[in-house]
């Protein structure tokens, strides 16, 4: 047991420093007892994660029954066209959007991929119902795949590395630049069968400039601190 | 036949939230915990298997503690919880972590053990400090009964053989909320501490333990009570801290303190029965000496701690809750409104909190078994630090809990006590700051 030389309080026998003023205890006569049990435990508790299984089940029942009802009506009553495919697709889409989020809470990346897949599937169903389905493979699918890929990449980077808000912003702008270029490329290839860019070059260049500025700010400590000071909220 | 019906009426399956209880679930968030903790440090290490048995025997005696919180369309409510639990757990360093209403079998109560320390954490909608203290004492008596030590049911220890009384589960706010006037709210923007936020799942605790006789002597020399004395020391520390911050414009230093209404309105309720008072000092008026601060707070409380003023204070919140327009607003809208209002207004209205559970009385037989008591408040939204005080025999425990790295207020507070001749022993879960 020691007293803090700085603030004068008596310390617990296990204390190696003063909790109030952070002064280290140096007491040759009575050094801190490192074997003594500290006054408070060291283990950190976590709030239990709750899966909303009840809600998930309810949503599943709702979507399945809607899809089933539409299918039955389509088969036996309103037989004009395969309109129930839209309803069933939409049900599946909504189900994938809502239910995995409730159950697979920790694996967000998986959810992004699932969402991408189900959007592609729904567009495919629409394409099958229309006369000319070339737009699906020409434009829709590439745009959906690119979007999913970029969102997934962002999610992965944020999860895997410790990122600052500046880095995240720069990353988003970078992705945005590439995404617009990708969109124009697929549109032009679909319409004119040529790989060339015009308007997306403007967007892409602007994004690249923003990325360059943000990277400079990030790399330069003084500049970064200045920005933090000015923009703190 | 008649007897039968009256018995049936007594079994209550659900409770309306009382006046104080209504606001806490709305605010309960990752970074805000309306959970507080009452601990008792015994002379002998705790046998947790026995404690679990004692807990299982104690819970039925406290029907308002064995509850789960549910959402209605307009208000939340407490419902009897028949799920297994709560279970005694090994203690954690981040005390008072937020309660997830659906986790832990929906119980709003946690019981921990660590060496000789028994801690009970309670969500504030269930009970206030005074109710929780009765629970802890009863649990302790049951725990000792398991070891063959008989503790008489007096001094706030309830008998688990008896049925719960109606008076214990009453909503005392309703009982006494019959005033004709309500106090107006004052919207002031108080001084706010600034500091580096600790990562989530950290609650920095600093507990100071001091002999009561020394504190009492010091308080007497300023002609105030121990409670007022400690509030004054905290006020002085906050004023000094604001001066250290060198602000452009000094703000009022306001301390919010709950007052136990059982002292003024006879009630045996184990649920909430408190109102908040907030003594303040405006540092712009000049440099206050400690004597001036102490007498200012003393005068503030002397003017307000009476039945009539407190009743008007109850009416302020009660009139809102009784407002027909408020009552028909759906719960999710109420939540949104209250949460924003709290963040923008209430959280700014005070600089720190102090809660004083007063002197704990226990039966004579229990006295040789107990070292001291300890209370802790949960993690607030803002960077403030909260002080919780409890006295047992000749030991007073003063526990600060905060979510920030800096411990300036705590240091100013305890150094001030040392300078006033009160020896303080410090215990903490803080990590060394490099």
A56/A152 same-domain check? yes
Is pLDDT of A107 > 60?
yes
Closest residue on chain B to A6 (Cα): B415
Closest C-alpha among B70, B67, B84, B262 to residue B164: B67
Is pLDDT of B6 > 50?
no
Is pLDDT of B152 > 80?
yes
- Locate tokens 């250290």: which residue? B244
pLDDT band at A105 (very low <50, low <70, confident <90, very high): low
Quote the CA–CA distance of A93 and A89 in Å, as a whole number.
6
Average pLDDT score over residue span B68-77: 88
Report yes or no: B113 and B51 within 8 Å, Cβ to Cβ.
yes
pLDDT over 90 percentage in chain A: 42
Report yes or no: B310 and B259 within 8 Å, Cβ to Cβ.
yes
**What is the layout of strands, in order, in the sheet containing B67-71?**
B14-16, B76-80, B67-71
Quote the CA–CA distance of B359 and B10 in Å, as a whole number.
33
Quote the CA–CA distance of B27 and B336 in Å, as a whole number.
10
Q: Does residue A108 fall inside a structural domain?
A: yes
Provide DSSP, B268-335: --SS--EEEE--EE-GGG----HHHHHHHHHHHHHHH-SHHHHHHHHHHHHHHHH-HHHHHS-HHHHH
- Which residues in chain B are contacts of A38 at CB distance < 8 A? 429
A25/A71 same-domain check? no
pLDDT band at B3 (very low <50, low <70, confident <90, very high): very low
Instruction: Write out pLDDT tens, residues B283-308.
Output: 999 999 999 999 999 999 999 999 99
Q: Does residue A104 fall inside a structural domain?
A: yes
- Which residues in chain B are contacts of A46 at CB distance < 8 A? 97, 201
Nearest to A45 among B92, B407, B425 (CB): B92
Residue at a domain's end among A102, A126, A157: A157
A96/A119 same-domain check? yes
A116/A172 same-domain check? no
Is pLDDT of B186 > 80?
no
Q: How far is A96 from chain B (nearest CA, A)?
A: 24
Instruction: Write out pLDDT tens, residues B122-131.
Output: 999 999 999 9
Q: How far is B288 from chain A (nearest CA, A)?
A: 23
Residues 6 or more apart whose Cβ sits within 8 Å of residue B267: B167, B170, B172, B175, B176, B261, B273
- Which residues in chain A are contacts of B415 at CB distance < 8 A? 7-9, 20
Give the model's pLDDT for residue B178.
85
Write down how long chain B is: 434
User: Token digits for B416?
Assistant: 């001030």
Select from A22, A32, A39, A52 the residue whose CB has the most chain B CBs within 10 Å, as the one to mutate to test that interface: A39
A148/A174 same-domain check? no
Quote the CA–CA distance of A146 and B46 in Å, as a whole number.
60
Domain that holds residue A12: 1-38
Q: Which residues of B touch A (CB under 8 A)?
A: 90-95, 97-100, 102-104, 114-115, 201-202, 205-208, 407, 410-411, 414-415, 418, 423-430, 432-433
Q: Do A40 and B205 touch (CB under 8 A)?
A: yes
Instruction: Write out pLDDT tens, residues B345-363.
Output: 777 888 999 999 999 999 9
Quote the CA–CA distance of A184 and A103 in Å, as a whole number.
37
Q: Does residue A233 fall inside a structural domain?
A: no
Q: Does residue A45 fall inside a structural domain?
A: no
pLDDT band at B4 (very low <50, low <70, confident <90, very high): very low
Closest C-alpha among B425, B202, B360 to residue A4: B425
Select from A19, A34, A55 the residue whose CB has the most chain B CBs within 10 Å, as the one to mutate to test that interface: A19
A70/A140 same-domain check? yes
pLDDT band at A51 (very low <50, low <70, confident <90, very high): low
Quote the CA–CA distance of B237 and B351 in Å, as a whole number.
11
Mean pLDDT across chain B: 89
- Which residues in chain B are contacts of A10 at CB distance < 8 A? 423-426
Q: How far is A92 from chain B (nearest CA, A)?
A: 28
Which of A141-145, A224-228, B162-166 has the weakest average pLDDT?
A224-228
- Which residues in chain B are contacts of A7 at CB distance < 8 A? 411, 414-415, 418
Q: Which residue has the higher pLDDT, A227 or A197?
A: A197
Nearest to A47 among B103, B426, B429 (CB): B103
Quote the CA–CA distance of B13 and B76 in Å, as a whole number.
14
Q: Which residue has the higher pLDDT, A106 or A71?
A: A71
* Domain B204-355+377-428, second-level architecture: 2-Layer Sandwich (3.30)
- Locate tokens 């009453």: which residue? B170
Give the model's pLDDT for residue A48.
73
Q: Cβ of A54: how many Cβ atoms within 10 Å? A: 10
- Which residues in chain B are contacts of A21 at CB distance < 8 A? 407, 411
Q: Does residue A191 fall inside a structural domain?
A: yes
Quote the CA–CA distance of B137 and B322 in Å, as a whole number.
35
Is pLDDT of A135 > 80?
yes
Tell me chain A's radius of gyration from C-alpha atoms: 29
Is pLDDT of B5 > 70?
no
SS3 call for B25: helix
Quote the CA–CA distance of A210 and A227 in Å, as a whole number.
15
A176/A142 same-domain check? no
pLDDT band at A151 (very low <50, low <70, confident <90, very high): very high
Mean pLDDT across chain A: 88
Q: How many domains does chain A have?
A: 3
Closest residue on chain B to A37 (Cα): B115
The residues facing B44 across adjacent strands are none
Q: Does residue A46 fall inside a structural domain?
A: no
Quote the CA–CA distance of B139 and B124 in Å, as a whole number.
19
Average pLDDT score over residue span A137-161: 91
Q: Do B418 and A7 touch (CB under 8 A)?
A: yes
Quote the CA–CA distance of B14 and A219 in Å, as a whole number.
59
Give residue A27's Cα distance to chain centre.
Answer: 51
φ, ψ of residue B79 to 5 degrees: the values are -125, 145
Instruction: Write out pLDDT tens, residues B368-380.
Output: 999 999 999 987 7
Give the model's pLDDT for residue B425.
94
Q: Does residue A47 fall inside a structural domain?
A: no
SS3 call for B235: helix
A60/A106 same-domain check? yes
Is pLDDT of B416 > 80?
yes
A58/A148 same-domain check? yes
pLDDT over 70 percentage in chain B: 97
User: Is A9 part of the contact surface with chain B (CB cutoff 8 Å)?
Assistant: yes
- Which residues in chain B are contacts of A232 at CB distance < 8 A? none
Q: Do B425 and A9 touch (CB under 8 A)?
A: yes
The residues facing B359 across adjacent strands are B391
Q: Which residue has the higher pLDDT, A64 or A109?
A: A64
Please give the CATH topology (third level) of the domain spanning B13-176.
Chloramphenicol Acetyltransferase (3.30.559)
Average pLDDT score over residue span B384-398: 93
Quote the CA–CA distance of B190 and B58 in Å, as a whole number.
42
A60/A151 same-domain check? yes
Residues 6 or more apart whose Cβ sits within 8 Å of residue B234: B255, B352, B354, B387, B409, B413
- Which residues in chain A are contacts of B99 at CB distance < 8 A? 47
Closest residue on chain A to B118 (Cα): A40
Which of B172-176, B198-202, B289-293 has the weakest average pLDDT?
B198-202
A125/A58 same-domain check? yes
Give the model's pLDDT for residue B32.
76
User: Token digits for A183?
Assistant: 């969109």
Quote the CA–CA distance of B102 and A115 in Å, as a whole number.
27
In chain B, CATH 3.30.559.30 sits at 204-355+377-428
Q: Do B426 and A18 touch (CB under 8 A)?
A: yes
Q: Does residue A187 fall inside a structural domain?
A: yes
Q: How far is B28 from chain A (nearest CA, A)?
A: 13
Give residue B86's Cα distance to chain centre.
Answer: 20
Surface-to-core class of residue A133, CB atoms within 10 Å of its CB (0-12 exposed, 13-18 middle, 19+ buried): middle
User: Token digits for B295?
Assistant: 């007498």
Give the model's pLDDT for residue A232.
64
- Which residues in chain B are contacts of A52 at CB distance < 8 A? 102
In chain B, CATH 3.30.559.10 sits at 13-176
- Which residues in chain B are contacts of A41 at CB distance < 8 A? 90-93, 114, 429
What does the angle CA B320 – CA B324 – CA B330 come to, to the nearest 5 degrees? 90
Q: Which of residues 32-71 of A touch B (CB under 8 A)?
A: 37-50, 52
Give the model's pLDDT for residue B1.
40
Quote the CA–CA distance of B59 and B53 in Å, as a whole number.
10
pLDDT band at B33 (very low <50, low <70, confident <90, very high): confident
Most distant CA atoms of chain A, gap in Å: 95
Pairing of strands B88-90, B109-114: parallel
φ, ψ of residue B374 to 5 degrees: the values are -150, 145
Q: How far apart are the first and last CA of chain A?
A: 44
Contact pairs from chain A to chain B, CB under 8 Å: 101
């Amino acid at each position: 047991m020691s007293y803090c030389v700085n603030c004068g309080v008596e310390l617990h026998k296990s204390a190696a420093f003063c909790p109030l003023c952070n002064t280290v205890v140096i007491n040759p006569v009575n050094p801190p007892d490192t074997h003594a049990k500290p006054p408070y435990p060291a283990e950190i508790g976590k709030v239990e994660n709750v899966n909303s299984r009840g809600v998930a089940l309810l949503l599943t029942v709702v979507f399945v029954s809607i899809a089933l009802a539409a299918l039955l009506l389509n088969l036996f009553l309103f037989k004009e066209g395969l309109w129930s495919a839209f309803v069933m697709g939409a049900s599946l889409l909504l189900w994938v959007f809502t239910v995995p989020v409730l159950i697979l809470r920790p694996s967000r990346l998986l959810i992004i991929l699932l969402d991408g897949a189900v959007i592609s599937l729904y567009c495919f169903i629409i394409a099958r119902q229309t006369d000319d389905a070339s737009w699906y493979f020409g434009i829709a699918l590439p745009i959906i795949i690119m979007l999913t890929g970029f969102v997934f990449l962002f999610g992965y980077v944020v999860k895997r590395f410790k990122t600052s808000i500046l880095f995240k912003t720069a990353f988003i702008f970078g992705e945005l630049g590439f995404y617009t270029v990708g969109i124009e490329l697929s549109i032009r290839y679909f319409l004119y069968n040529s790989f060339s860019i015009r308007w997306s070059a403007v967007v892409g260049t602007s994004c690249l400039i923003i990325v360059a500025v943000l990277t400079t700010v990030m790399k330069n400590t003084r500049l970064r601190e200045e920005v933090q000071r000015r923009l703190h909220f | 036949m008649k007897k039968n019906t009256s018995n049936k009426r007594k079994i209550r399956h659900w409770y309306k939230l009382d006046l104080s209880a209504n606001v806490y679930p709305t605010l309960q968030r990752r970074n805000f915990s309306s959970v507080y903790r009452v601990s008792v440090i015994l002379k002998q290490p705790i046998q947790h298997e026995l404690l679990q048995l004692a807990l299982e025997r104690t819970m039925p005696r406290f029907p308002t503690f064995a509850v789960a919180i549910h959402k209605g369309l307009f208000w939340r409510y407490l419902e009897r919880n028949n799920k297994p639990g709560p279970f005694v757990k090994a203690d954690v360093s981040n005390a008072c972590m937020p309660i997830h209403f659906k986790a832990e079998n929906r119980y709003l109560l946690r019981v921990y053990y660590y060496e000789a320390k028994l801690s009970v954490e309670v969500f504030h909608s269930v009970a206030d400090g005074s109710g929780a203290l009765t629970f802890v004492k009863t649990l302790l008596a049951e725990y000792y009964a398991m070891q063959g030590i008989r503790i008489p049911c007096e001094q706030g220890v309830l008998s688990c053989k008896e049925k719960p009384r109606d008076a214990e589960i009453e909503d005392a706010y309703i009982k006494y909320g019959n005033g004709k006037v309500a106090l107006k709210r004052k919207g002031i923007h108080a001084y706010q501490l600034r500091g580096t936020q600790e990562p989530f799942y950290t609650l920095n605790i600093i507990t100071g333990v001091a002999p009561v006789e020394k504190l009492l002597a010091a308080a007497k020399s300023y002609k105030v009570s121990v409670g007022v004395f400690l509030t004054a020391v905290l006020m002085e520390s906050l004023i000094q801290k604001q001066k250290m911050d060198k602000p452009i414009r000094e703000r009022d230093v306001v301390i919010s303190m709950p007052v136990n209404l059982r002292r003024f309105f006879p009630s045996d309720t184990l649920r909430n029965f408190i109102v908040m008072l907030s003594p303040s000092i405006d540092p712009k008026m000049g440099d206050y000496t400690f004597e001036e601060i102490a007498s200012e707070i003393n005068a503030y409380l002397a003017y307000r701690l009476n039945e009539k003023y407190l009743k008007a204070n109850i009416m302020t919140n009660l009139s809102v809750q009784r407002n027909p327009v408020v009552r028909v607003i759906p719960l999710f809208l109420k939540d949104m409104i209250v949460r924003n209002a709290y963040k923008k207004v209430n959280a700014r209205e005070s600089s720190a909190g102090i809660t004083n559970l007063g002197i704990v009385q226990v039966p004579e037989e229990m006295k040789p078994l107990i070292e001291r008591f300890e209370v802790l408040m949960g993690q607030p939204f803002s960077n403030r630090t909260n002080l919780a005080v409890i006295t047992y025999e000749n030991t007073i425990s003063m526990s600060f809990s905060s979510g920030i790295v800096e411990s300036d207020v705590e240091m100013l507070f305890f150094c001030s006590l040392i300078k006033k001749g009160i020896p303080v022993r410090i215990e903490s879960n803080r990590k060394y700051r490099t």
